[in-house]
Structure 1
Amino acid sequence: MRKSGLFILFSILLFFSVNVSAQSPVIFEGENIVIGNHVSILEDSSNRLELAEVRQSKAFVASTVEIPNLQLSSSDFWLKFSIRNESDQDHIILALEYPMLSKAEFYSMSDGRVQKLSYNTSFSHRKYQHQNFLFDVYVPPGATKDYFLRVKSTEQMVLPLILGTPKVMAENLLTNDLAWGLFMGLILVMIIYNFFIYLSVRDQSYLYYVFYSLFIGLSSITLSGYTYRLILFDHPDLNHLGIVIFPGLAGIAGNLFMMNFLQTKENSPRMHRFIYLSILLYSVAVILRLLGFDQASFRAIDFAAISTVFITFIVTISLSLEGYRPAKLFLLAFTLFFTGLLLFVLRNLGIVPYNNFTNYTKEGGTALDVVLLAFALADKINTFKREKEKSQEQTLQALKENERIIREQNVILETKVTERTYELSQANTELNQTLIDLKEAEGQLVEAEKMASLGQLTAGIAHEINNPINFVTSNITPLNRDVDILIDFIQEMEKIGLSDLPVEEKQRLIDEQKEELDYDYLKMEISQLLKGIQEGASRTSEIVKGLRVFSRLDEDDLKKADMNDGLDSTLIVINNLLSNKIKLEKSYGDLPLIECYPGKLNQVFLNILSNAIYAINKKFGEREGGVLKISTVSTDTKVIIKIEDNGIGMDEGTKKKIFEPFFTTKDVGEGTGLGMSIAYNTIRRHQGEIQINSTPGVGSEFVLELPIVFESIEEDN
């Protein structure tokens, strides 16, 4: 990525605002010295300038900071500086403490010596076995020499330049290695220790912490060059990938750790979604680096880190204000990590001085972050432990209290055993009486439902009886009249018979009376009237007999009965409901007598037939077309009765609930909701089965299966 036009314009303005030729030489007196503010810088955006052209260029801009920050750029940068040696050593070392340079070329103007180092070169080919770029500088005591340095990097380039004698430089590098050794040892100890804890407790927070510590450690040592120096010395390309991949994986693991450790999904659901955004940015950075988009991947890491900082502070501060203890420890650890990173950035920007303290703020912050997070995990475990101990203590106190109460209760119970036994005996007697009452109530409920059904049909039965009764009553009046006439005729005949008239005269008078009365018609009319009265009485007798057969209120004992007769008697009772609009189709088989309670089964037939007629009327209303089919058949062990209608039918929900007490699909006042429940219990009591086949809008079929022989089963008390 080339620098923006704004930065180029800034460089030009800086060129005209400073005296580029007046940059003072570096005065070297034998101690290590940072020379960043003694160099002039030229950006070669074309990457084609050679030393001869650079020496003639007047576009150099003097640096005013100890550590030049060359930003993220694909340009070559030329640095020009002079060294005046006022020490007693003629051999000096120039160290570039930035291991991620793609290339570094050091030019000495006095002897034409060129030293070239490249990040892509195997570590074993370097003269100095160190990850920093080290160059030999030979300046006789009291002399001044000019030098040029060309550098380039695919990463953001912050370039500390340090001069020192070989001995002092070696001591400084050794101190640096020791410090890094302590850092890596600490990270490794935290990883191993917490991994073993994870194996013990199986808490995912520990697993995420282990991965976070591993990758944050690898990130630090990779950015400092130790991965290149100690692990991937012959594979600089892999080390190059690790510069972004390790921080990316550290960011992903760190966000997952925060989500799990702080339970952000439950404790901060709004910010929980934004954490996934940071994870996505880190993942994009890793993918870009793997695909070879180096600068884009570095920029993606920057955006991911910024989003993570904001999200982490918002989550941890808000939860800390709510008094959530894990969030407080997490906030402290992240604040120290962020502070160390911030001081490191401020050092690179020249705001804070370059010294041994500021050199290790990033690593120090990382180490404190890892250690404090480990303490936070341990505190979480200790919190769980304290809560468990508190719970156990409360349980122990409860057990002691229970033991005391039990002792006291035992004393009380010993004095109340007799009293309680008596109370239990009384309660048992009451329960037995309640059970008897419940059974009686159950029987009364069944009979009440039966009587309710009969009550609804009373008007129809009255209509059925009323027809033949009306026929009888209508014949009585003319019969009385004819009888009166006949009595009068008999009296007249008596007078004629007792008179002294001759026989012929008596016969003539009798014939005249017969002719006057129309005696032959009178006989025929009386005969017809008597016959009508006899038919009405017979029809009434049949209806009453059918009703008596149907109800059988006096038959509570098990006896043998014909189911065909039971169905016919039920049809007599509900004959008025059928009217002339519903077609009745009967197909009776030759059935054996079965052992049953006939009256209870007749009530089952009544409930099912009434519901069938109701369903047909709901569908057809006053129109014709309704069909009610009744069929019976028997097998060796059972009788099968099918009652089928072409009414409105039932859906699955109704079929599942139809046998529940008080469930009804009828309007208010049209049904109690007990009929089908009683029918179901009655069939089950007879050790039979009842099945329903129904399709909405087509109709329903009830299939009753009753055993021929009733196997006696002792009922539960």
Structure 2
Amino acid sequence: MKNTLLIILFSFYLLDVFPQSQTLLIEENKSKYTVGKQFLNIFEDKTRFLTVTKALEESFVPSTMDSPNYGYSNSAFFTKFFVKNAQNKPQDIWIEVDYPSLDSVSFFVLKDNQIVKKNNTGYGLPFSTREIKTKNFVFVTHLEPQEEQTIVLRFRSKRNTTFPITVWKAETYTESNSSGYLGLGLYYGIMLAMLFYNLFVYTALKEKSYLYYILFILSMLLFVMSFNGHGFQYLWSNFPSFNAVNIPFFIALLIFNSLNFGREFLSVAQRMPKANRVLEIMMLVSFLIIVLSLLLPSRTSTMMAVFMGLPSVIILVYISVVSLKKGFRPARFFTLAWSIFLLGSFITALRSFGILPYTFVTVYGIQIGSALEVVLLSLALADKINTLRREIAQKALERERVEKEKEQREFITEQNKKLELLVEERTRELAEQNKQITDSIIYAQRIQKAILPSKNQIVQAFPETFIYFKPRDIVSGDFYWFAERDNKIVVAVVDCTGHGVPGAFMSMIGNTLLNQIVLERGITRPAEILNQLHEEVRFALKQDEILEEGAKDGMDIAICVFHQLHNILEFAGANNGMYLIRNNKLEEIKGDRMGIGGAKRGVERNFTNQIIKLGKEDTIVYLASDGFADQFGGESNKKFMAGSLKKLLLELNDKSLKAQHLQLNKVMEEWRGSYKQIDDQLIVGFKIKPTASRQKAEIRIKETSTEERKTDIPHKFTR
């Protein structure tokens, strides 16, 4: 009892590990049977040379797939299954192998272990060897009521080895497959319609993109017909040897035309030169595969073509996406079309390598993807033509605009030439006039320089002296004045209203009036000099009669008188002051805050006379106009300022007057930089040596002792 139980358990174990295939029963109410893992047994003949009799002696194993797919294999495969007519009437059954690219297919019917029927056909044999003239391999056998037969099939292929097997009742095969043929007919209809439509458009437009697209559709159509077996069925049925090369040949041809069409459609040569070089290299490789497909073994060339196909589609999708990002509108249809085709090709490729099972989608992925692709690419071409038309229209408008602009430019150029001639003529006239004016101003400059005191006069009075004088224009509104009378030395720095020619006229008036007041009238008291100068300027300019701009003309002045015998310095200023440096300290003697000239406005002007007693030490005196302090410059383009000038003078105290002059000039040049000089600049500096000055005065007194000395009687102002 115990041994019997063990035998039963072991039997169940064997049945579970090595399941036995069942017999396929042909029943009354069913017309289609998939011979899959439930019924099919498979033996792999790695030698490829076993006969069916020898193969049947080997161990067959049940199929693990409903649609066996071994990818690219060098082996031959025997399959067998058992079929029984379970009806009470005779039945013809059709056994279909739904993969038309198998090189060799042998069909055997065994009854009581005897071969009662056989048929050898395949993709490598003439189409006439097929029992049923259809793209797939279909074999017929007859079953009497309750009769059982063994069906054996042998497959061998240099390409993908897959053999989905279906058993049909004879009367339902044609009816059932009509839907499949309807789908393929629809596909071929779409492809042919797109082919002839684009041929018509190309004939009308002569656009190269349409020609390349026609070649692309044609190569796609031939590839799919070859892949589906319809090419062999309808086009080269008497040339089975072409079947050994047609798949890689048409794949490579399709790749070449796809790359060429994409390159032209997306204008890659103009838009992306680097990508264009990549496409040219890939086109060259695909052309080489076309040639090699006629020379190399089918499996090798097919794998080369398949591995070349996927990168080609990917690079086209990438370029179209980049073009779309750059604003090329038709690229959106192109991107979508190739993405769909890429997906279909990828699914089919995975099925070819045995990674995906044999299903409707994996078998017809390329057909589905290519049909959608050609429709979308036709839309893309139409969109491109519309875009080109808009661009052409826009370019036409642009050309018209450019031509009008050219005409306008020519007209303007002609007018400019006339104007240039007129301007040139007028410029010559103005240049001549300007030369005359400039010559006159230069002559005025010589006159102005002539009336200024010579430096030798000042040096005789003050051996250590400098005059920093930098007019803004050719002639200046600033001037310096010098005189000696009764052992008194008079020095003045005058800043007249304005600069250039107007300022120069005022300086002539000021110089003349100072000569009259000091040299002719003998006035040496600084405050009185300014009082009389103010009245004389107002009289000369008729400022009592003029109420507007002329009433503002006048001058600012700093004037000092040095008494040589008494070592006293008198000073008066109209808006300008005086700087003294003694004992290494700077003193500022400020003038009155009112100028010379201008309307009275109800106020009588009396300038303040200031007396400075000098010691035995040397004293440096500086008189300056406001031009130096008011000059803009530096990094912030701001004024130099009077405070900076005082600081600079104090720093230069230990240098000679000549060195001070040079340093003042250097500092101002660096400060001004590239900025324009805004006003005349004048600084007069001299050193008073009390002992030397007194000695000179005493010598002069002795020389004139025989003459009657004049007394300093106040001069009554008269006009």
- Which residue among 309, 312, 316 is the counterpart of 2:316? 312
After superposition, the Cα gap between the structure-2 partners of 1:48 and 1:23, relative to the gap in structure 1 and judged at 3 Å, is: same
After superposition, the Cα gap between the structure-2 partners of 1:383 and 1:296, relative to the gap in structure 1 and judged at 3 Å, is: same
Residue in 1 that maps onto 2:583: none
Residue in 2 that maps onto 1:39: 40
Letter paired with 1:121: L
Contact 1:285 1:296 in 2 (8 A): no
Letter paired with 1:98: Y
Determine helix, strand or coil for the equivalent of 2:213. Answer: helix
Q: Distance in 2 between matches of 1:135 and 1:205?
A: 46
Determine helix, strand or coil for the equivalent of 1:382. Answer: helix
After superposition, the Cα gap between the structure-2 partners of 1:425 and 1:76, relative to the gap in structure 1 and judged at 3 Å, is: closer
| Mapping for residues 502-517 of structure 1, pairs under 5 Å | none
After superposition, the Cα gap between the structure-2 partners of 1:315 and 1:41, relative to the gap in structure 1 and judged at 3 Å, is: farther
Q: Distance in 2 between matches of 1:421 and 1:68?
A: 90
After superposition, the Cα gap between the structure-2 partners of 1:279 and 1:423, relative to the gap in structure 1 and judged at 3 Å, is: closer
Contact 2:124 2:243 in 1 (8 A): no
Residue in 2 that maps onto 1:23: 21
Determine helix, strand or coil for the equivalent of 1:36. Answer: coil
Contact 2:164 2:358 in 1 (8 A): no
Instruction: Work out whether 1:354 is the aligned partner of 2:359.
Output: yes
Determine helix, strand or coil for the equivalent of 1:99. Answer: coil
Whichever structure has more helix as a proportion of its residues is 1
Q: Which has the higher contact order (CA 8 A, sep 6+)?
A: 2
Whichever structure has more strand as a proportion of its residues is 2
Residue in 1 that maps onto 2:51: 50
Q: Distance in 1 between matches of 2:418 and 2:274?
A: 65
1:438-478 Cα shifts (integer Å, max 9, x gaps): xxxxxxxxxxxxxxxxxxxxxxxxxxxxxxxxxxxxxxxxx
1:219-243 Cα shifts (integer Å, max 9, x gaps): 0001111111111121222343322
Q: Distance in 2 between matches of 1:353 and 1:300?
A: 23
Superposition deviation, residue 323 in structure 1: 4.0
Determine helix, strand or coil for the equivalent of 2:100. Answer: coil
| Identity, % of aligned positions | 26
Letter paired with 1:184: Y
Contact 1:103 1:151 in 2 (8 A): yes
Letter paired with 1:64: T
With 338-347 and 238-247 compared, the bigger mean Cα shift is at: 338-347
Q: Distance in 2 between matches of 1:375 and 1:163?
A: 43
Q: Distance in 1 between matches of 2:312 and 2:395?
A: 38
Letter paired with 2:68: P
Superposition deviation, residue 196 in structure 1: 3.1
Letter paired with 2:156: K
Superposition deviation, residue 277 in structure 1: 4.5
Q: Distance in 1 between matches of 2:420 and 2:381?
A: 58
Letter paired with 2:256: I
Instruction: Give aligned pairs, total.
Output: 407
Contact 1:227 1:239 in 2 (8 A): no
Determine helix, strand or coil for the equivalent of 2:162. Answer: coil
Contact 2:90 2:144 in 1 (8 A): yes
Contact 2:69 2:358 in 1 (8 A): no
> TM-score, length-normalised on structure 2?
0.50
Determine helix, strand or coil for the equivalent of 1:109. Answer: strand
1:325-355 Cα shifts (integer Å, max 9, x gaps): 2332211001111233344456675856735
Superposition deviation, residue 91 in structure 1: 0.9
Determine helix, strand or coil for the equivalent of 2:70. Answer: coil
Determine helix, strand or coil for the equivalent of 1:290. Answer: coil
Superposition deviation, residue 396 in structure 1: 8.4
Residue in 1 that maps onto 2:135: 131
Residue in 2 that maps onto 1:78: 78
1:380-425 Cα shifts (integer Å, max 9, x gaps): 101111233455567889999999x9xxxxxxx9xxxxx9999899
Q: Distance in 2 between matches of 1:17 and 1:273?
A: 62
- Which residue among 248, 251, 271 is the counterpart of 2:252? 248
Q: Distance in 2 between matches of 1:421 and 1:154?
A: 84
Contact 1:281 1:303 in 2 (8 A): no
Q: Distance in 2 between matches of 1:397 and 1:310?
A: 42
| Mapping for residues 102-251 of structure 1, pairs under 5 Å | 102-110=103-111, 112=115, 113-251=117-255
With 36-45 and 386-395 compared, the bigger mean Cα shift is at: 386-395
| Mapping for residues 551-570 of structure 1, pairs under 5 Å | none
With 206-215 and 139-148 compared, the bigger mean Cα shift is at: 139-148
Q: Distance in 2 between matches of 1:24 and 1:350?
A: 27
Superposition deviation, residue 367 in structure 1: 1.0
Determine helix, strand or coil for the equivalent of 2:69. Answer: coil
Superposition deviation, residue 268 in structure 1: 3.7
After superposition, the Cα gap between the structure-2 partners of 1:344 and 1:166, relative to the gap in structure 1 and judged at 3 Å, is: farther
Superposition deviation, residue 133 in structure 1: 1.0
Q: Distance in 2 between matches of 1:215 and 1:150?
A: 32
After superposition, the Cα gap between the structure-2 partners of 1:27 and 1:263, relative to the gap in structure 1 and judged at 3 Å, is: farther
Contact 1:18 1:62 in 2 (8 A): no
Residue in 1 that maps onto 2:368: 364
Instruction: Work out whether 1:382 is the aligned partner of 2:383.
Output: no
Contact 1:212 1:254 in 2 (8 A): yes
Letter paired with 2:105: A
Instruction: Work out whether 1:339 is the aligned partner of 2:337.
Output: no
Q: Distance in 2 between matches of 1:248 and 1:358?
A: 21
Superposition deviation, residue 178 in structure 1: 3.0
Q: Distance in 1 between matches of 2:149 and 2:351?
A: 29
> TM-score, length-normalised on structure 1?
0.50
Determine helix, strand or coil for the equivalent of 1:22. Answer: coil
Letter paired with 1:178: L
Superposition deviation, residue 137 in structure 1: 2.7
Superposition deviation, residue 134 in structure 1: 0.9
1:242-300 Cα shifts (integer Å, max 9, x gaps): 22211211111111111222233343444434334433443343223211522211111
After superposition, the Cα gap between the structure-2 partners of 1:391 and 1:100, relative to the gap in structure 1 and judged at 3 Å, is: same
After superposition, the Cα gap between the structure-2 partners of 1:425 and 1:137, relative to the gap in structure 1 and judged at 3 Å, is: closer
Superposition deviation, residue 199 in structure 1: 3.3
Q: Distance in 2 between matches of 1:132 and 1:420?
A: 85
Contact 1:67 1:350 in 2 (8 A): no
After superposition, the Cα gap between the structure-2 partners of 1:269 and 1:28, relative to the gap in structure 1 and judged at 3 Å, is: farther
After superposition, the Cα gap between the structure-2 partners of 1:358 and 1:141, relative to the gap in structure 1 and judged at 3 Å, is: farther
Determine helix, strand or coil for the equivalent of 2:71. Answer: coil
Contact 2:73 2:160 in 1 (8 A): yes
Contact 2:227 2:247 in 1 (8 A): yes
Determine helix, strand or coil for the equivalent of 2:82. Answer: strand
Residue in 1 that maps onto 2:531: none
Q: Distance in 1 between matches of 2:421 and 2:271?
A: 57
Instruction: Work out whether 1:90 is the aligned partner of 2:91.
Output: yes
Q: Which runs of 5+ in 2 are unaligned?
A: 1-13, 431-719
Q: Distance in 2 between matches of 1:105 and 1:137?
A: 14
Superposition deviation, residue 142 in structure 1: 4.6
Contact 1:282 1:300 in 2 (8 A): no
Q: Distance in 1 between matches of 2:390 and 2:90?
A: 65
Q: Distance in 1 between matches of 2:285 and 2:404?
A: 58
Q: Which runs of 5+ in 1 are unaligned?
A: 1-15, 406-412, 414-418, 435-717
After superposition, the Cα gap between the structure-2 partners of 1:53 and 1:370, relative to the gap in structure 1 and judged at 3 Å, is: same
Letter paired with 2:58: S
Q: Over aligned residue pairs, what C-alpha RMSD do you find? A: 3.9
Residue in 1 that maps onto 2:293: 289
Superposition deviation, residue 432 in structure 1: 11
Q: Distance in 2 between matches of 1:378 and 1:361?
A: 26
Superposition deviation, residue 217 in structure 1: 0.5
Q: Distance in 1 between matches of 2:222 and 2:328?
A: 31
Name which one, 1 or 2, has greater alpha-carbon Rg: 2
Letter paired with 2:47: S
Letter paired with 1:79: T
Residue in 2 that maps onto 1:602: none
Contact 2:310 2:342 in 1 (8 A): no
After superposition, the Cα gap between the structure-2 partners of 1:160 and 1:314, relative to the gap in structure 1 and judged at 3 Å, is: same
Determine helix, strand or coil for the equivalent of 2:101. Answer: coil
Instruction: Work out whether 1:62 is the aligned partner of 2:62.
Output: yes
Instruction: Work out whether 1:303 is the aligned partner of 2:303.
Output: no
Superposition deviation, residue 40 in structure 1: 2.5
